[in-house]
Amino acid sequence: MKIKSSEFVISAVSPKQYPDEGLPEIALAGRSNVGKSSLINKMLLRKNLARTSSQPGKTQQLNYYRINEELFFVDVPGYGYAKVSKSEREAWGRMIEKYMTEREPLRLVLQLVDLRHPPTALDVSMYEWLSHYDIPICVVGTKADKLTKNQMPKHAKIVRETLGMPKSQPLVLFSSETGMGRDELWSIIEQAADL
Ligand code: GTP
Ligand code: MG
């Protein structure tokens, strides 16, 4: 994918604000700090387009980025912040649930997990929930640069087993530092978005 343009569009706090251009959407899900915004920046070869230190508590915004007038990346606030209140967590859940199950242009959810550690219980529930609704998922193992080449297969296996991924589903090993996995992920996105 050749990036001709990429721009921030809106931090949407309600569905009324979601863009209505009909472009395919690729959403990112994953716990807070897993590397969602960094992945967006790496995919777009931008240093700081997606803010990489979003504030805890701002749990209800979907950040839209438009790429080449062809598709949107949707950066979803991370789950698992210890400090977020119960009511905020519930509001987050309702917003995500509605977006993921009802958003017509949504083509693919990139579910990010930290490759260094086994997926958390929240990662597993998110994965099971998306699978249950037949929402197309691509699991991405982030921060691969923190592992040696030798460690990677073992960690990949633990991610696959903990999530219960079918063999046919790809697990992309990714690094926002080195660009590892970038080409593979673009080809998966292009296919999902029919580009
Ligand atoms: P929230 O927006 O809070 O949900 O977090 P996020 O998932 O967007 O994570 P973000 O991209 O802000 O990254 C969190 C931290 O991890 C930052 O300090 C990044 O520099 C670091 N990080 C992200 N991706 C990588 C990676 O591939 N390798 C390494 N070494 N560090 C990474
Ligand atoms: Mg972020």
Asked, for residue 90, whether it belongs to a domain, the answer is yes
| 3-class secondary-structure state, position 6 | strand
Asked, for residue 157, whether it belongs to a domain, the answer is yes
- Assess contact for 173 and 139: CB atoms under 8 A: no
Asked, for residue 1, whether it belongs to a domain, the answer is no
Q: Which domain holds residue 56?
A: 6-192
CATH of the domain at 170: 3.40.50.300
Nearest CA to ligand 1 atom 31: 143
Which residues crowd ion ligand 2, with CB under 5 Å?
36-37, 54
Q: Torsion over CA of 49, 135, 25 and 184, rounded to 10 degrees?
A: 60
Q: How far apart are the first and last CA of the chain?
A: 9
Q: Tell me the residue type at 137.
A: I
Asked, for residue 10, whether it belongs to a domain, the answer is yes
List the chain pLDDT tens, one digit each, 195 residues: 999 999 999 999 889 999 999 999 999 999 989 999 999 999 999 998 987 755 655 557 899 999 999 999 999 988 877 777 888 888 888 989 999 999 999 999 999 999 999 999 999 999 999 999 999 999 999 999 999 999 999 999 999 999 999 999 999 999 999 999 999 999 999 999 999
User: What atom of ligand 1 comes closest to residue 174's alpha carbon?
Assistant: 27
Q: How many domains does the chain have?
A: 1
CB-side neighbour CA atoms (13 Å) of 188? 20
User: What atom of ligand 1 comes closest to residue 40's alpha carbon?
Assistant: 11
Nearest CA to ligand 1 atom 10: 35
